Chain A
Amino acid sequence: MDTIIGILEAMLRTAVNPATAGVVIAVIGLNIHFGFTGLLNMGQAGFMLLGAYGFAISLDQGLPFPVAILVGLLAAVLFAVLLGAPTLKLRGDYLAIVTISAAEIIRYVGRLSNLSEYTGGSQGLRGARYQEPFINLSFLSEDGRWTLPPEGLYSWLPSSMWAGETGGRILGLVVLVAAVAGAIFLIKGQRNRQKELKPGSDLPFAQRLRTGLAVSGLIFVAVIAVFYILPLTLDQTKSNGWWVRLVAWSMVGISLLVAMLLVRSPWGRLLRGIREDEDAVRSLGKNVFALKMQALIIGGAFAAIGGMVYVLPSTVQPDNMGRSMTFFIYTALLLGGAATILGPLLGTLIFYPGRILIREVADAYIPDSIMSSSQTDQFSFIVVGVVLMLLVIFRPQGILGNKRELRFNV
């Protein structure tokens, strides 16, 4: 039992990690590129790395915090224009080859020892050199630790039902299952009612809002229930505590909202049009090249923010944002479902803890003589590769996606 709890705790810690939040934001950006517009961007990690470098180097050189964020964003925007200009008029695989190459160039330059005064070279830029302005922004207490859920939430219960106790875990599990089931029930009901309507018309706004609020509430209850089962204690502020998690996941929320508004706008519909039939959109008098460029820039900007969030608690290490990162981002996107709003979030939250699950289970239950502990790590990555293959072959729409919408042939 302790082993299982240990594995679940490791998964939860990975899931709430700011780095995971950073990747979610980058996946949202790739979703705009690949899922909605059909752009085969193979250099999303390069956008992240540029954002992170722009942000961290500016702070290291003493620029104010908002300027540093702008510098990171600007770097990614310039990168997108530079890459998009020669390739967006060509067939899709040219963009793939150019973006993956350009991302590698960024990484090589970041590793240069000549520039190590600014970038830290292959060792990376240490967090201590740029974290302070961010930590100083914190409104949480400077020292001390804090546990989610706070004791006030459950202190009226008998002590065996407290968070982290056996009784509390069972209670939390019941609440969690009920909340998730309720949310799924509400969404399914909404979809069925939508199906009965004439195509093209929508349910009344008030009704959709009510369902949306109810589902959000239930998801909130489910998240609290997860922490009730596995309470998490961390520093309040410091470099890697609740403060950076609060900001990171708020950024995820904002990014999801912005992405939703973007893709549901007329502009978003044009992007889908480009994905499905570029010539048709062109025949409507739209400038396809400009639209693709806008999509590339906006998705790249998301990645840059993701990169900044990714490095907030740790270091800017160029090798962390290499080709493998791009491939993981693709896996997470395809797992959750490309061209959906919540797919990136769901995919990443399954991908990272899922890999931990595979590794830890292999570590705990397969004897060392068959699989040593470094081999279990590699084993988990082999599984990731195979899952990516099987996913694309057998369920290209991922968990949330709609198969009809995804014939992406770029």
Chain B
Amino acid sequence: MKSRATEPPEVRTTRATQLSRLVLVLPFVAFLMALGTPSAGANTLTLCQPTAGELSCVNGTVGSRAEPVGDADVTLTRPDGTEETVTTGDNGRFSFEAPVVGEYLLSLDGLPEGLEQIPPEAQFAGPDGTVMVNVDALGRQYVPALTVRSVDYDSSGTSKTDQLLQAGVNGLRLGLLLALASLGLSLIYGTTGLSNFAHAELVTLGGMVAYGLVNLGGLNLWLGIVLTTVICGLVGYTQDRVLWQPLRRRGLGLTQMMIVTIGLALAAQYAFQYFVGASTQKVVVRTFDSFTVGPVRLSYMDVIAMLIALVLIIGVGLVLVKTRIGQATRAVSDNPALASASGIDVDKIIRIVWTSAGALAGLAGVLYALTISNGIRWDTGMQILLLLFAAVTLGGLGTAFGAMLGSLIIGVVVELSGPLGAPGDLKYAVALLILIVLLLFRPQGLLGRPERIG
């Protein structure tokens, strides 16, 4: 991509044939040029600022904020037919003034080699592939999307491979974080038989607590992550002590307990909305620096998150295999009555499982909010709950190592299905579809044993 970082945005007017129009447009053009020219070396376009009742603005970025496209020509056609063209700078920004109410059309030309515009969604589509901006009031800011993709998006060129590589790495990232969260879900299922529908709310809680500590409280990020993990562990412990242990003592059936988790999930989701609001909250305001390896682009936070997840997953695996507590946990998963008879304190093991499940889910929530979802919302956890269940079932219900394997598969499948042709949210559906198909042929999951399915 050719860089034109130091050049001011070009403004030119065409087809302004009528004198009246010229009179209207000229001062505006002069104004823009005057703003654009003097500051040599600055690559910023002067953004139009809306004035209440007088002026609306059509601002935006060609490409995306993360990957702007420079040197592209954006042409605005006003309701009266006049046109104005801006060539984007390095930051991909364009900015137009919209002094009257009406339908404005944006078209995108002169894209660098190999890129093409993604056609706008139906409700924004104007004639001839333009993007329609309906300026319905003055004094507002309108931000139309001019997104691009590579031309060989659908053909099998090199950049297709690049996309798949990037998606594969993203999938690994999602898979590792899913594994972190699903370990607890799987362990709880293994030791108590409970399908915990409120597990995702522990993930959301992690993000929320980190938002409170780091963003609102101003705590150091790393300290915040550690503290969040501890707090979520305590929440897991308290949940078991206050709710699940008494219910087990009462002899409440597993089905009823599962419905209790649904009630808890519902209450927790709306409690998040009640206290934090319905919008996305950022754990940290700044964005993390990123780097590229070949075609793959990652932020440093991505790498750190993946490493943390990997280390913890291996750690939990080692604990399960090597230590006495791990052995006891697996014994309880296998047969609680027998474990109890051979002197294992089943309640204590379950309490440890709940505590670590809470901590792992909370940590996964923070890392998820920092990397993948770029913020936390009341339903962030709910959105991945089914992926967690799919991962756990895929690997084999109640087997910790199955949960890890299942998570990685689900993560990669979800991210790869986008470039492979699944539009929009359907990538989640693909993961669920794989789950259903797998149950047809191997209901016990990949690592489960047949007798577990009853």
Contact = CB atoms under 8 A, between A and B. Distances in A.
Chains A and B bind each other: yes
A98 B443 CA distance: 11
Interface of B is mostly: helix
Contacts of B195: 93, 96-97
Contacts of A113: 121-122, 423-424
Contact of A86 (B263, B270, B439): B439
Interface of A is mostly: helix
Interface string B236-266: 0000000000010010111110111011111
Given A327-B266, A408-B253, A98 B259 contact: no
Interface residues of A, number: 52
Interface string A97-129: 110111011001101111010000100000000
A163 interface: no
B426 A327 contact: no
Contact of A409 (B255, B265, B266, B397): B255
A117 B248 CA distance: 51
B141 interface: no
B253 A389 contact: no
B386 A379 contact: no
B36 to A, nearest CB: 37
Q: In the complex, which of the residues B121, B382, B429 has the most CB atoms of chain A within 10 Å of its own CB atom?
A: B429
A410 interface: yes
Contacts of A327: 262, 266
A384 B274 CA distance: 14
A105 B433 CA distance: 8
Contacts of B259: 330, 334, 388, 392
Nearest to A375: B274
Interface in A366-410: 374-375, 378-379, 381-382, 384-389, 391-393, 396, 407-410
A92 interface: yes
Nearest to A82: B436
Interface in B429-454: 429, 432-433, 435-436, 439-440, 443, 453-454
A94 B122 contact: no
B267 interface: yes
B78 to A, nearest CB: 28
Contacts of B262: 327, 330, 388
A55 B263 CA distance: 32
Given A104-B386, A408-B255, A385 B435 contact: no
B438 to A, nearest CB: 9
Nearest to A92: B255
B180 interface: no
Interface in A137-160: none
Nearest to A98: B436
Given A101-B386, A375-B274, A389 B426 contact: no
A324 interface: yes
A176 interface: no
A195 interface: no
A320 interface: no
B389 interface: yes
Contact of B274 (A101, A382, A386): A382
Contacts of B439: 86-87, 90, 94, 98
Nearest to A93: B195
Given A91-B453, A97-B389, A388-B259, A114 B423 contact: yes
Given A108-B428, A381-B266, A97 B393 contact: yes
A109 B433 CA distance: 12
A215 interface: no
Interface string B105-122: 000000000000000011
- Counting chain B residues whose Cβ lies within 8 A of the other chain, the interface size class is 35 or more
Nearest to A408: B255
A108 B425 contact: yes
B51 interface: no
A104 B428 contact: yes
A116 B123 CA distance: 10
A40 interface: yes
Contacts of B435: 97-98, 101
B364 interface: no
Interface in B113-168: 121-122
B432 A393 contact: no
B425 A116 contact: no
Contacts of A114: 423-424
A384 B266 contact: yes
A387 B264 CA distance: 10
A386 B443 contact: no
A96 B397 CA distance: 13
A67 B147 CA distance: 42
A278 to B, nearest CB: 11
Interface of A: 40, 83, 85-87, 90-94, 96-98, 100-102, 104-105, 108-109, 111-114, 116, 121, 323-324, 327, 330-331, 334, 374-375, 378-379, 381-382, 384-389, 391-393, 396, 407-410
23 contacts: A85-B440, A90-B454, A94-B443, A94-B453, A102-B436, A104-B428, A105-B433, A108-B425, A121-B122, A324-B266, A327-B266, A330-B262, A375-B274, A378-B273, A381-B269, A381-B270, A385-B263, A385-B264, A385-B266, A386-B263, A388-B263, A389-B260, A392-B252
User: What are the 7 tightest A-B residue pairs by CB atom distance, in nearest-first order?
Assistant: A385-B267, A388-B263, A385-B266, A389-B263, A101-B432, A381-B270, A91-B454
Given A94-B393, A102-B432, A378-B274, 15 more contacts: A40-B255, A86-B440, A94-B443, A98-B435, A101-B432, A111-B425, A112-B425, A374-B278, A382-B274, A385-B264, A385-B265, A386-B263, A392-B260, A396-B256, A410-B255
Interface of B: 121-122, 195, 247, 250, 252-256, 258-260, 262-271, 273-274, 278, 382, 386, 389-390, 393, 397, 423-426, 428-429, 432-433, 435-436, 439-440, 443, 453-454
